[in-house]
Amino acid sequence: MGNLGRRIGKNQNTGNSADGADGNLGGGIVDIFAKDYFSREDSVSRSPGEPPPTPLDASGGTTTTYGNYKVHTFTATGAFVVNGLASGGRSNDVDVLVVAGGGGGGGRHAGGGGGGGFRTASRTLTSTGPITVTVGAGGDGAPQSTGSGTGGTQGGTSNFAHPSPLESAGGGFGGHPQPPSSGTGGDGGSGGGGGAANGNPGGSGNTPPVSPPQGNDGGDAHPTGGVAYAAGGGGGAGGAGSPAPSATQAGAGGNGANNDYRTGSDVTYAGGGGGACWSGGSPGAGGPGGGGAGGNYDSPGNGVDGSTNTGGGGGGAAGPDSATGGAGGSGIVVIRYLIS
């Protein structure tokens, strides 16, 4: 009989082309069998009666599609619900982006808040049902009172909880240099900037430590005090916060990091907040990725808030006494997977 694909017998149509062993145009029952026995869906073969392959079926968050991907975007805490696993050789892998809330800027010539922790990973789903998705809030910007002030607060943690948690830490708060605060920026996904005067250090990023790192350190304040105190910028997911380069120039927030899961084009997340300066100086710019600019005592004294759902850090406040640090931007979780 020969191997599958060889011809047995002749097709009703014959001719002079020598594509068969006897010079006749082929066909035959094995050709018919080879062509029709298997059906194909995309690149997957299946036998008669076998159901067609299906992609992963899930719901939750705001759903969009682009190209071959379906995307679930969570801007607040909720549940990613796996309604059905993929079949017929389709993948149950999902790509996940988890960005935590940015840290709040400090009060009164204070450092910028750090960007929220930024992490990506692939996860293979193994069961149906809900998966908890936590989206961290931005940290509060610090208020201040006459002659004193406080650091901001750390941003909230974001998490995708299955099958092994993918968790990002909130950005560290911006430091404030006067009692009761120490002036040091807070630790977190990215560290907060140091409060102005005496070279107060920025906080440590990638805290707790993960690999690859989820963020970077905050910048130090300038060591020289005087009329124009200059604070450090908060760290970002893509770069450290800038130290204040002079007594009259505050440090800028660190750059955020890019990711294309949500739209197919890069979006920048988790930039650091800019440091504040005293009268006569220049505040630090917010880092790309939602970081807020620092305040200037001359106007405006408030730090700028980090952008919502970017994990950007808030800018530090400069004064006067009614000014407050910028709030950190809330985080975001994005999940995508192939549907064709």
CB atoms within 10 A of CB 336: 23
pLDDT at residue number 319: 76
pLDDT at residue number 142: 86
In this structure, which amino acid lies at residue 249?
Q
pTM of the full structure: 0.85
pLDDT at residue number 111: 94
pLDDT at residue number 108: 80
Gap between the Cα atoms of 275 and 250, Å rounded: 5
Write the pLDDT tens digit of every residue in 172-183. Answer: 999 987 766 778
pLDDT at residue number 175: 92
pLDDT at residue number 227: 56
Q: Which structure tokens are listed for 154?
A: 């750390």
Gap between the Cα atoms of 127 and 333, Å rounded: 20
CB atoms within 10 A of CB 163: 12
Residues of the chain with pLDDT under 70: 1-51, 144-151, 179-180, 225-228
